[in-house]
Amino acid sequence: MDIDYVEITGVHSKIQEFYRAVSLDSVIYRFLHPISDPVYIYRYLWSRGCKTFLIYYRNKAVGVIDITPCGEGAEVAIVIADAHQGKGLGRAVAVDFAPRLREMGFKYAVAYVSPENYKALSIARRMGAEVRCRDICIVIYRLVEDRDVCR
């Protein structure tokens, strides 16, 4: 797939524009709660070192990926705009971005996923990530061979 990324950390207008194009379900899957102002959340995330990238497919913005450092790992969130879901883009981005995270020096990626988000959990399991679910699912994808990371 022809996927590219452009960092938009700190660009409030791009976040507003993107989240206008997604459903409430997609917002809830991303933030695990309905929110009315994504820019407010992003200001906080960016102040904590989060980097946000627009995902481009065939020169069209189709999603965002957020990378927030946490120790030797990174919390990762991928949101694909509703109009582009179901086309394999979420999986393609997850597979494509993993080596980039490794190049950034991270040993693992962690994601917090709603148990109802079957698509994201399926992608994680097919990639070989560890998935632990209760009220929320914690997904851990090891970017290095060390099996003792995160334990």
pLDDT digits (tens, 9 = 90+) for 38-89: 999 999 999 999 999 999 999 999 999 999 999 999 999 999 999 999 999 9
Please name which of 133, 72, 129 lies closest in space to residue 101, comparing C-alpha atoms. 72
Please name which of 86, 71, 90, 63 lies closest in space to residue 5, comparing C-alpha atoms. 63
Name the one residue in this structure whose structure tokens are 């200001």: 43
- Please give the model's pTM, rounded to 2 decimal places: 0.91
Q: Which domains does the chain have, with CATH numbers?
A: 3-142 (3.40.630.30)
Percent of the chain with pLDDT over 90: 93
Q: What is the pLDDT of residue 151?
A: 40
SS3 91: helix
Cα(15)–Cα(53) distance, integer angstroms = 10
Q: At what angle do helices 12-20 and 38-47 cross, to 10 degrees?
A: 140
Please name which of 9, 137, 123, 11 lies closest in space to residue 65, comparing C-alpha atoms. 9
